[in-house]
Amino acid sequence: MSTLESFLCGRWVSGAGRPATLVNPSTEEPLAEASTEGLDFGAALEHARHRGGPALRAMTFGERGALLKSLASAVHAKRDELLDLAMRNGGNTRGDAKFDVDGAAGTLGAYAELGASLGDARALLDGDAVNLGRSSRLAGQHVLTPRHGVAVHVNAFNFPAWGLAEKAAQALLAGMPVITKPATATALVAHRMVQLLVDSGALPDGALQLVTGGAGDLIDRLGSQDVLAFTGAGSTGMMLRGKVNLLAASTHVNVEADSLNAAVLGPDVERGSDTWDLFVADVVRDMTQKTGQKCTAIRRVFVPAAMLDAAQEDLADRLSACRVGNVLADGVTMGPVSTAAQLRDARAGIERLAASGARVVLGGAAAVQGVGAPEGKGYFVAPTLLRLDDNTRGDDVHEHEVFAPVATLIPYGSVPEAVALVHRGGGSLVSSVYTDDRAVAAEVALGVASSNGRVCVVSAKVAGAWLGPGAVLPQLLHGGPGRAGGGEELGGLRGVSLYLQRTALQGYGPLLEHITAGARRVG
């Protein structure tokens, strides 16, 4: 069995002690081991601060964009190998694996273009200079410059390639060195990706380091110039952001956490119409793609009460065609969840939703024998549709995310009631409204906006071009308020600004112009 090493201080190293074992979730066969015990994270941080940081800051945005372009090419060149690893270690179907790996290369490519558009700039101007008196003698100008610390990235198990790439793209473009830590259980893809990125020769020494295994004391060593960007469970995010050293140093922390994303079917939509079909396709895709382990997946499906039976029938019909099993077996359309812990949580979660007032109308918590999997092996869950007839009940349906192929149908009586129900999620990454009625579109989109990082307005007009709410695009914000962690990533330069300090320069106007010559205005 192979040992996955970490890449620290320019060397591949492995820890001592009892390693964690990575398995194939379709078969439970062990694939690799990883340990970080005894590794010197203090030295890794110093290496990034003293080598990677200065080298990146010496480059222009355009040069860093060119670096990202090389990284995108390095990932793309080994696409098939990465897809294979994602299938074996993540339980991804080939389609799921492409979503992750192509998303990684695509996001690096998008930030490469953004860098190219900023050209020779090393600093950015946030808005125009303002006169502070009657003349331009005394002026002020807001500037954005890279923080002089390290960007530490802690990622979830579900998107080992994209999660690494999207965070790294933003930090590297800003000019900050990265230490990336994938979730241990599915680290094979991220580990191979970092090998490829390092071997590409595009990265300055210390610009990218990898922790394969536990984070040890890495987070406890962060200070005021560092950034922590975390994706994972809300409880872990809360624990990390509450660390005393981070609070004391006001370290910038971005959290992407749990999310009870919603879909609202408008009262105008008729069964069998284009908009109805978009709605059904999105719910089914979100429940089954990556076995429902997408932070953006639709979990709560709000339908006009009169249409609830029809929606249930069409969704159950489509979901019943799903073949659950070993992703390497012929005809399998949905793989296992990625870990034994996820399987336990998914089963317990379905029971919790049922205890909260919802009833299972398809699937359920019972064990599933996966097609093409060894007898009794593999972490399989059936696509599970629940129905909450009394929408005043079911607190857990709004509060407990089951990170698996699970969603709940919920009736509503009026559009304001649907809006109020969406807000009960306590803050989500994305919600969608399916309607061809402009008034409904406006009422829902603006009505739910304060509880969502992104709102999708889906009508017949976008049929054929629509990617679904689960596709996170580099141009648009990813993150959400409240339960979703309160973070903001991507959205073009908006996500990059996490790694930049905004400073107000104040002084003699012409001197400020001299100081900021060559900086690019972005705000």
Q: Which is nearer to ligand NAP, 10 or 242 (CB)?
A: 242
Sequence-separated (6 or more) residues with CB below 8 Å from residue 371: 323, 324, 325, 326, 329, 331, 332
* Minimum distance from residue 55 beta carbon to ligand NAP (Å): 27
201-220 positions binding ligand NAP, by CB under 6 A: 214-215, 219
**In the numeric block, which tokens belong to residue 183?**
């979730």
Binding letters toward ligand NAP, positions 480-519, x by CB under 6 A: ----xx----------------------------------
Q: Which stretch binds ligand NAP (CB under 6 A): 71-79, 227-235, 319-327, 414-422?
A: 227-235
State the residue number with the nearest CB to ligand NAP: 232
Task: Please name the residues in contact with 272: beta carbons below 8 A apart, sequence gap of 6 or more.
Answer: none
Catalytic site residue 513? no
- Block residue for tokens 């919920």: 410
Pick the closer one to ligand NAP by CB: 89 or 275. Answer: 89
Residues 154-173 that bind ligand NAP (CB under 6 A): 154-158
Largest CA distance in the chain: 81
Identify whether 256 is a catalytic site residue.
Answer: yes
Among 403, 412, 434, 499, binds ligand NAP (CB under 6 A): 403
Which residue, 448, 346, 445, 363, is CA-closest to 400? 346
Residue in 178, 298, 388, 429 binding ligand NAP, rule: CB under 6 A: 429
* CB-based contact 26:370 (threshold 8 Å): yes
- Residue 256 in the binding site for ligand NAP (CB under 6 A): yes
The residues that bridge with 430 in the sheet, in sequence order, are: 454
CB nearer to ligand NAP: pick between 212 and 516: 212
Long-range Cβ contacts of 268-275 (<8 Å, 24+ apart): 268/435, 268/436, 268/437, 268/440, 269/307, 269/434, 269/435, 269/436, 271/307, 271/310, 271/314, 273/436, 273/460, 274/460, 274/463, 275/434, 275/435, 275/436, 275/458, 275/459, 275/460, 275/463
Region of 42-50, 66-74, 251-259, 274-282 interacting with ligand NAP (CB under 6 A): 251-259
Minimum CB–partner distance for residue 186 and ligand NAP (Å): 8
Determine which residue in the list 257, 404, 458, 500 makes contact with ligand NAP, applying CB under 6 A: 257
| Contact flag: residue 236 with ligand NAP (CB under 6 A) | yes
Residue 7 CB, shortest distance to ligand NAP, in Å, is 16
DSSP assignments along 462-510, one per residue: GTTT---TT---TTSEE--SGGG-S--EETTHHHHGGGEEEEEEEEEHH
Q: Are 365 and 334 in contact (CB under 8 A)?
A: no
Burial class (CB within 10 angstroms; exposed 0-12, middle 13-18, buried 19+) of 318: middle
Coil, strand or helix at 203 = coil
Site for ligand NAP in 298-357 (CB under 6 A): none
Catalytic residue among 33, 256, 488, 489: 256
Minimum distance, C-beta of residue 308 to ligand NAP, in the bound complex (Å): 27
271, 441 Cβ separation under 8 angstroms: no
Shortest separation between residue 154's beta carbon and ligand NAP, angstroms: 5
Q: Of the two residues 155 and 452, which places its CB atom closer to ligand NAP in the complex?
A: 155
Of 118-126, 181-189, 358-366, 420-428, the window that binds ligand NAP (rule: CB under 6 A) is: 181-189
* DSSP strands (E only) in 173-258: 178-181, 208-210, 227-231, 252-256
295 binds ligand NAP (CB under 6 A): yes
Residue type, 368: V
* Span from 52-60, 116-124, 257-265, 322-330 in contact with ligand NAP (CB under 6 A): 257-265
Q: Which is nearer to ligand NAP, 103 or 266 (CB)?
A: 103
Q: How many Cα atoms are found within 13 Å in the side-chain-facing hemisphere of 40?
A: 9
Please choose, out of 57-65, 119-127, 231-239, 408-416, the segment that lies near ligand NAP by the rule CB under 6 A: 231-239
Using the minimum distance from each CB to ligand NAP, give the nearer residue, 261 or 516: 261
Which of 381, 385, 400 is closest to 291 using CA atoms? Answer: 381
Helix spans in 200-243 (H):
234-241
- Please name the residue that has the structure tokens 């192509």: 102
Q: Does 99 bind ligand NAP (CB under 6 A)?
A: no
Residues 28-87 that bind ligand NAP (CB under 6 A): none
CA distance 402 to 189: 24
Looking at beta carbons only, is 100 or 256 nearer to ligand NAP?
256
What are the backbone angles phi and psi of residue 411, rounded to the nearest 5°? -80, 155
Q: Considering only residues 166, 282, 401, 488, which one is a binding residue for ligand NAP as defined by CB under 6 A?
A: 401
Residue 194 engages ligand NAP in binding (rule: CB under 6 A):
no
For residue 309, which phi and psi values (nearest 5 degrees)?
-65, -40
Please give the residues from 128 up to 157 whose contact with ligand NAP meets the rule CB under 6 A: 154-157
Q: Looking at 5, 9, 295, 489, which residue is catalytic?
A: 295
Query: How many residues make contact with ligand NAP (CB under 6 A)?
Result: 26
In the bound complex, what is the minimum distance in angstroms from residue 111's beta carbon to ligand NAP? Answer: 17
**CA-CA distance, 187 to 222, in Å (whole number)?**
23
CB of 35 to ligand NAP, least distance (A): 11
Q: How far is the CB of 350 from ligand NAP (least distance, A)?
A: 15
Q: How far apart are CA 337 and CA 96, in angstroms?
A: 12
- Residues acting as catalytic residues: 256, 295
Q: Under the rule (CB under 6 A), what is the footprint of ligand NAP?
A: 154-158, 181, 183-185, 214-215, 219, 231-233, 236, 256-259, 295, 401, 403, 429, 484-485
